[in-house]
Structure 1
């Protein structure tokens, strides 16, 4: 009898292990079945999906399988679809099926159902939003008209589904000819030529004339202007403006000459608009002629990018009066963006208006971003970590783990369906409070989904955990290689966080791979330089990737004055570009960063540098000065411009 309990214990353990193994095997089988069903949907084999569904009723992703089986009913007012939407109300599978139902019903002209279901959409895609608004506009709904007007006045690349909505606005008298020309100007300025054609078709205006009309304006603007000479009427004025905008977008230097020659027949606002587009494009080229064009554009309303470049040109020229004037001319919500709040404050400070400057800096001080940190420093402080939130409790974690959206997202990651997992995860985070977000971040961390952990931790409003926002995975590898290359570890982590969010198998659309997003050609070049042989797949090996990435960081840093701002820009866009973007005079690091021509690189550099501040604070307990880190960018010189080019 004395040996019964140990024997029983061993039997229980073996039985439990066998049971867990059986559960694991069954889960793997269900995962494989789900992937088969997913492939069947892509191939139009809905009959196969129905055959597989009984095996998937208990799977986390069963709602998606159920929605696939309902696709044949999208063209009818289906009770089964209504039941599905009610069952999964507020969840992503219901949102996606409802969107497809609206699309199908809109194409059939069942606008009553479209209107009923449209108001239930939580985050509609642009085409669904337009379909949903169209019947309401036709029924005289003033709120719908207001929403549609926003799409008209702010949109550039609206989907074809919006054409019916815009036709309804025009038919209901909610649009004027001037609204159409303004939208067409914006679209031509953004090189959206087909969309400009659609806009003008809504207006029902005759865009043909003896000079070739709209076709010539968009394809041969110089010839159109030569044939036209002086505009004869308002339509020709608008067409001439479009032709000049078309030229300004692609050949700003030639547009200057054309505007001087043909612009006298245009209204002042039309001339200023063309000068604004010229200033934008010359600003991107960092031409010394950009400042004159910007000044001639006045404060006319331009596309967002053009208005931003009006300020960037003034910043590089250190014309603080112009900086202030152009920011104050911005519409909301643009004027409230952290960058323009900060630079308006700097313009006040440069003009001796210290009290006004302080008021501006206070609006964004304390925000955990590039300009929030700089504003804090302008007020005499340093970025600091907020009080650490209490860790998520076991019960809080269990509650969030039970949420269907979280379970579906984790299942998608388990199946290596990362893009779908990202969308499901983001949907699941909607409406979560801080405690739930921290629990979600902890769940993602435990599942080694670091990028989703960061995305959850980044959303908290009052209770924060900066160790989850700025994690330090792969510390042994990163610390070792950073020390070996004598690199600032906070900077390396800040760059890596922006590059890959610590996804080891991350691959960009241009082929950059791994934690540090090393391009294959760059990886091969660095490997050859240090005598390392790369094998297939080595770029995704964390240790190899970090070794190559940090080595390249060191080489780039040494080639660019040992300046981290230049080196960060170079890591993203190439050393040649980073070197080219300097000025003929010394430039404040923050101004250099804000006036980088590539929007991706501009955003990248600002985030890398602000990331580095918080990593340094977390690692050492001391907050460095971002302004000191940004320093001053040395001017261009023949010596530095002729430096050996790195890949």
Structure 2
């Protein structure tokens, strides 16, 4: 056989390195395997080969050689002169650290080695940011144009516009806003000042008034606009009262009285009365003083009655009826109706049965989905099945057809002895999946609908998506352990995509074991039947260990992880909850102490640690309340709230109790977790346990007991 030429061997080496950089290829150094190994060749690698076949027999030989090298030879043997992707990643991190330390010689030397590395654009962007800090924007302008397809460029562009504002380059800023209108929302104050300098003065003055009312700080570059705003007669009396309202609601009375100094002295006295209303709402509202104008009356009444309704909705309702006769008669009836609605809904969330009548008596114009829902929930709690049916039947058709009201109508019919009428409603739900569907199937004695489909994506579609620069960058960030930047690139690449593209994305993310993006992509692709991909059995070793330690089922632990973070190990909420099971650091520390762990500052981004502590906290709540449903409610809303809810309404009828959880988020959370347990039991090839039984503390309790 003729030996390949030196040029051909170089082509093989180059092709190998090109293939290695693709995000869908994962090959480990290994011995050559049997023919069956060919079946495991990556799908997209085959597509890559097919694409190159058209380039001639020489290229076909090259690719065949590369495939053999991938399967049989360690990468270090493939080419002694090539740089591995692992080495490039190390250089990238070293370059980033050098830039942070202002070691520019080292930075430039490392960056020069990374010309073909997918994330090198980030080094350009970060370098431009550093030069901006030093007052130089030439590189920023160049990089913004050169790397417009990299989402990190948005950060650079925002920093550049802020720098232009400091230098009062309003014409350039206006041009930039015209070019990228999305920056207006990112930099509203700069846009406002830019508008003023470029002729849109009325719009700028109106926006400044709105900012002042909200208490926004005024930047140095907006001071000229502020002076003009003051010369135009601002703040007006109405604007002062609007800002006072915000300050009073926050209890910032010193600032509120400072704003009020420009008001007539009589109006300044109203603030003293308002402050007393906050302290003693019932007593002070009963002594409503004469002379308070409509604007101030509405603010004081709304605040005082809201505070009183938190303590006692009945007293708030009675106070409202009394004050209607003493306050300014110019206050509209619509204002009082809205206040009545707020009080009635607060009473309903506290499970006060009289709230059903209050909600029903509201003007038709003030009735909405929320008021109807709480009327129905109160009747369900009180087992007033006929009244519950009447409320559901009076709902608009689209609301009646929602799964919760379809289920409760069926349940009401069943409890009224009309099982034949209930059966079709249950049956319609039972062919679907979800909390109410699983309950319906169980009521009829039917198996749960748990069949799973696979994603459908062609080799060509996978190859096309995988070759997008943003997708390659997303993969690289994943390898560097930065899920946030990976996600940003991922969504930047897929923004505005159709369902078929999202399905391809779900397939690709699944091949990367990127579970949270698989879950999101499957939803956007409307592929909710892909249960195995949407409900992964990830971190199985840690979950099983936590199950052994706590006595919780693995399904319960997986369900909390799925609901809390969708398996994103770096998930961080806006309040600071972290990791797979979204633990607050304070809660994690307290749990670690109870478990007598060595570290009092556990790493919540470690899957093993997070699962250990999260499961321990969950079982603590289950032992405290006696039910997984209540434990899930406590995990989401806090045990003190669950205690309060149980004091108002005992857990005697679990389905009704869950339906009437005051917080929409917690109600949906509990229902999702309980349904997910069934799915995860099925994923473990078990027959799903009774959801009705799991809802109860010890044994099944039907609603008619």
Normalised by the length of structure 1, the TM-score is: 0.66
CA distance in 2, matches of 1:461, 1:484: 38
- Aligned residue in 1 for 2:324: 263
- Aligned residue in 1 for 2:679: 614
- Aligned residue in 2 for 1:62: 120
Decide which moves more: 108-117 or 408-417.
Answer: 108-117
1:605 CA drift (Å): 1.8
- Aligned residue in 1 for 2:269: 212
- Identify the structure with bigger relative contact order (alpha carbons < 8 Å, sequence gap 6+): 2
1:469 CA drift (Å): 1.2
CA distance in 1, matches of 2:661, 2:683: 29
CA distance in 2, matches of 1:206, 1:358: 67
CA distance in 2, matches of 1:40, 1:124: 30
The question of 1:235 aligning with 2:295 is answered yes
Shift of the 313–396 alpha-carbon distance from structure 1 to 2, 3 Å rule, reads same
1:28 CA drift (Å): 0.3
2:111–2:123 Cα contact (<8 Å) kept = yes
The question of 1:495 aligning with 2:560 is answered yes
Aligned positions of 1:15-414 closer than 5 A: 15-16=77-78, 18-19=80-81, 23-37=85-99, 39=100, 57-70=115-128, 84-85=143-144, 87-89=146-148, 91-100=150-159, 117-118=176-177, 121=180, 126-128=185-187, 209-210=266-267, 212-213=269-270, 217=274, 221=278, 229-230=289-290, 233-245=293-305, 247-248=307-308, 251=311, 255-256=316-317, 258-265=319-326, 267=331, 268-283=333-348, 294=359, 316=381, 341-345=402-406, 370=435, 384-385=449-450, 388-390=453-455, 392=457, 395-414=460-479
Shift of the 476–235 alpha-carbon distance from structure 1 to 2, 3 Å rule, reads closer
1:102 CA drift (Å): 5.7
| Pair member with larger Rg | 2
1:405–1:424 Cα contact (<8 Å) kept = yes
CA distance in 1, matches of 2:630, 2:272: 44
The question of 1:565 aligning with 2:622 is answered no
Equivalent pairs, count: 604
- Aligned residue in 2 for 1:456: 521
Q: Deviations over 1:541-580 (max 9, x none)?
A: 656765665566556445534x321232234455554344
CA distance in 2, matches of 1:104, 1:373: 57
2:392–2:409 Cα contact (<8 Å) kept = no
CA distance in 1, matches of 2:553, 2:523: 24
Q: Deviations over 1:305-334 (max 9, x none)?
A: 99987876666456786898799899xxxx
Aligned positions of 1:452-601 closer than 5 A: 452-462=517-527, 465-479=530-544, 482=547, 487-503=552-568, 517=583, 519-525=588-594, 527=595, 534=598, 537=602, 546=611, 550=615, 553=618, 556-561=621-626, 563-573=627-637, 575=639, 577-582=641-646, 583-584=648-649, 588-597=653-662, 601=666
Normalised by the length of structure 2, the TM-score is: 0.62
Where does structure 2 lack aligned partners over 5 or more consecutive residues?
2-68, 226-236
Q: Deviations over 1:623-644 (max 9, x none)?
A: 66756654699999xxxxxxxx
Decide which moves more: 612-621 or 298-307.
Answer: 298-307
1:65 CA drift (Å): 3.8
Shift of the 495–11 alpha-carbon distance from structure 1 to 2, 3 Å rule, reads closer
1:604 CA drift (Å): 2.9
CA distance in 2, matches of 1:26, 1:287: 65
2:592–2:599 Cα contact (<8 Å) kept = no
Where does structure 1 lack aligned partners over 5 or more consecutive residues?
2-8, 166-176, 637-647
CA distance in 1, matches of 2:368, 2:654: 26
2:471–2:493 Cα contact (<8 Å) kept = yes
2:633–2:666 Cα contact (<8 Å) kept = yes
1:491 CA drift (Å): 2.6
Decide which moves more: 596-605 or 537-546.
Answer: 537-546
Shift of the 617–46 alpha-carbon distance from structure 1 to 2, 3 Å rule, reads same
Aligned positions of 1:431-446 closer than 5 A: 431-446=496-511
Shift of the 539–386 alpha-carbon distance from structure 1 to 2, 3 Å rule, reads same
1:503–1:514 Cα contact (<8 Å) kept = yes
1:214 CA drift (Å): 5.7
